[in-house]
Amino acid sequence: GESVGLHLPTLSVQEGDNSIINCAYSNSASDYFIWYKQESGKGPQFIIDIRSNMDKRQGQRVTVLLNKTVKHLSLQIAATQPGDSAVYFCAENGGFQKLVFGTGTRLLVSP
């Protein structure tokens, strides 16, 4: 079946460090993956996405890596800032953009 999970529920980093948030998925047929950031009391905010024909995609301070062999997805945030503190979700496309979300990882950035 389709499931998306995250390895760590909470990640604590110092300001300026690089953060890596990991995600495992189980549906090898998934062709699209996406990372969202969710702050308290707000809806998920798009960060970056990647299609299955790519291994890596870079945005502003963020990079997503996709390893289809082990069905693993990661989000790297460079020079983490206090404003990056939030819950991060990975999601996979369950068809017609019916996204299947994982539980989430809370990122805590201390000054």
Partner 1 sequence: DTGVSQNPRHKITKRGQNVTFRCDPISEHNRLYWYRQTLGQGPEFLTYFQNEAQLEKSRLLSDRFSAERPKGSFSTLEIQRTEQGDSAMYLCASSLGTVGEKLFFGSGTQLSVL
The one-character DSSP state at 29 is T
To partner 1, the closest distance from the beta carbon of 65 in angstroms equals 18
Comparing CB distances to partner 1, the nearer of 15 and 94 is: 94
The one-character DSSP state at 44 is -
What is the gyration radius of the CA atoms in the chain, in angstroms?
13
Q: Which chain residues interact with partner 1 by CB under 8 A?
A: 4, 31-32, 34, 36, 41-46, 49, 51, 89, 91, 93-94, 96-104
To partner 1, the closest distance from the beta carbon of 111 in angstroms equals 26
Closest CA to 32 of 77, 66, 7: 66
To partner 1, the closest distance from the beta carbon of 92 in angstroms equals 11
To partner 1, the closest distance from the beta carbon of 96 in angstroms equals 7
Comparing CB distances to partner 1, the nearer of 18 and 58 is: 58
Comparing CB distances to partner 1, the nearer of 47 and 77 is: 47
- Whether 91 and 84 have beta carbons less than 8 Å apart is answered as no
- Token pair recorded at residue 33: 């993956």
Comparing CB distances to partner 1, the nearer of 36 and 80 is: 36
The one-character DSSP state at 68 is T
- Token pair recorded at residue 20: 């890596």
